[in-house]
Amino acid sequence: LYGVLQMQVPFPFSLLCLQVIKCKAAVMWEANKPFSIEEVEVAPPKANEVRIKIVATGICRSDDHVITGGLVMPFPIILGHEAAGIVESIGQGVTTFKPGDKVIPLFVPQCGECNNCLSTKGNLCSKNDFGSRAGLMPDGTSRFTCKGKAIHHFLGTSTFTEYTVAHESSVAKIDSAAPLEKVCLIGCGFSTGYGAAVQTAKVEPGSTCVIFGVGGVGLSVVMGCKAAGASRIIAVDINSDKFAKAKELGATDCVNPKDFKKPIHEVLIEMTGHGADYSFEVIGRTETMVAALACCQYNYGVSVVVGVPPAAQQITFDPMLLFSGRTWKGSVFGGWKSKDSVPKLVADYMNKKFVLDPLITHTLPFTKINEGFDLLRTGK
């Protein structure tokens, strides 16, 4: 689930808005070490960029993957990619934002010009930083400096800082009345899980769904399956403490693989009679990705990979699992076109079409970010 870090940052006067801002940031100097709260310098936004005061940021497992080496990025780096804030200043040429606007940074940009943005089938803008993992702004430089050293960005967002800079294609303007400490989850976890069900898989009414992993993103998949009208929603997790929340949000059955001696996909096929219509892997482990594929209906089942795959690992599986007709799909940010969809999702939240409060287990001050990650790693 999510711990939300709240920022308490003075808003600078407009006369200072194009100067360097000094503020606190959680810098990750090297892998497998705690965050270090440092004073950093945040440069003014360049052309087509926006400088944002971060009000609240969620702690996501993907950030932890960088710390542990599961997702390879350059160090030192300011992590964080799930947040909400207020525009502090804008660079030359920015016309769609103004200081004071409430916004959500987007780790999947939407440039509106590349093949993926122009296609109705895709949402992974080619200007994302997943492929190159350069940890820099689009012009190849950084806006962060600490102790005289340039600090890398993370996925074009870097939200573990009181102020950040993002390209305008990586920012969405949202309802001015939206509670930032709640809708920050729409910046990643909720949108990723909910969209995997309603956008990527396109779950149908009356269907059977299995979700491997019911942390914050997995619970959002549960919510998406319920909203789509699934009649049976099976939550799978090795931590049974998560099952009460899963049932509260729509799960009809909960299964702990530790309670069985046989492979979990066999258990699920027996439970459903023919396998799931849709399955979702929301953990990021190769063995559960294969299990999720194997548990869905052999001819027309659809399995969606939602969890970030570990670096430098390969999957070995029986190709007959696919030959018989199953579909294996990936889903980044729930398949949503980010700039178009995030404001609509915020509007849906404001209109009470879904809830976010059950996904938030802790609210911590920014300086306790290491405690927040300890809670994440212990499943709390």
pLDDT at 129: 82
Instruction: Assess whether pLDDT exceeds 70 at residue 335.
Output: yes
Phi, psi of 72 (to 5 degrees): -80, 120
Greater model confidence, 59 or 17: 59
H helix or E strand, kind and range, residue 181: helix 180-183
Confirm whether 158 is a catalytic residue: no
Instruction: Assess whether pLDDT exceeds 50 at residue 120.
Output: yes
Catalytic residue of the set 111, 117, 184, 188? 188
- Residues sharing a CB contact under 8 Å with residue 75, sequence separation 6 or more, in sequence order: 28, 29, 30, 31, 152
Which tokens is 78 given?
Answer: 């300011």
Per residue, what are the HEC states of 261-324?
A: CCCHHHHHHHHHCCCECEEEECCCCHHHHHHHHHHECCCCCEEEECCCCCCCCCCCCCCHHHHC
Ordered by start, the domain boundaries in the chain are 2-190+335-378, 201-330
Catalytic residue of the set 81, 152, 167, 265? 81
Catalytic residue of the set 23, 62, 89, 331? 62
* Of residues 77, 66, 100, the one with CA closest to residue 159: 77
pLDDT at 105: 98
Catalytic residue of the set 60, 117, 184, 209? 60
Instruction: Assess whether pLDDT exceeds 50 at residue 42.
Output: yes
pLDDT at 95: 94
Confirm whether 188 is a catalytic residue: yes
Task: For the chain, give the percent of residues with pLDDT over 90.
Answer: 87
- What amino acid is encoded at 350 in this protein? M
* Of residues 62, 77, 64, 103, the one with CA closest to residue 25: 77
pLDDT at 17: 47
Which tokens is 163 given?
Answer: 């102020």
The DSSP symbol for 152 reads B
Looking at domain 201-330, does it have CATH number 3.40.50.620? no
Which CATH fold topology does 2-190+335-378 show?
Quinone Oxidoreductase; Chain A, domain 1 (3.90.180)
Tens digit of pLDDT for each residue in 247-305?
Answer: 999 999 999 999 999 999 999 999 999 999 999 999 989 999 999 999 999 999 999 99
How confident is the prediction for the chain on average, in pLDDT? 94
Confirm whether 146 is a catalytic residue: no
Tens digit of pLDDT for each residue in 173-207?
Answer: 999 999 999 999 999 999 999 999 999 999 999 99
Across residues 296-320, what is the average pLDDT?
Answer: 90
pLDDT at 202: 98
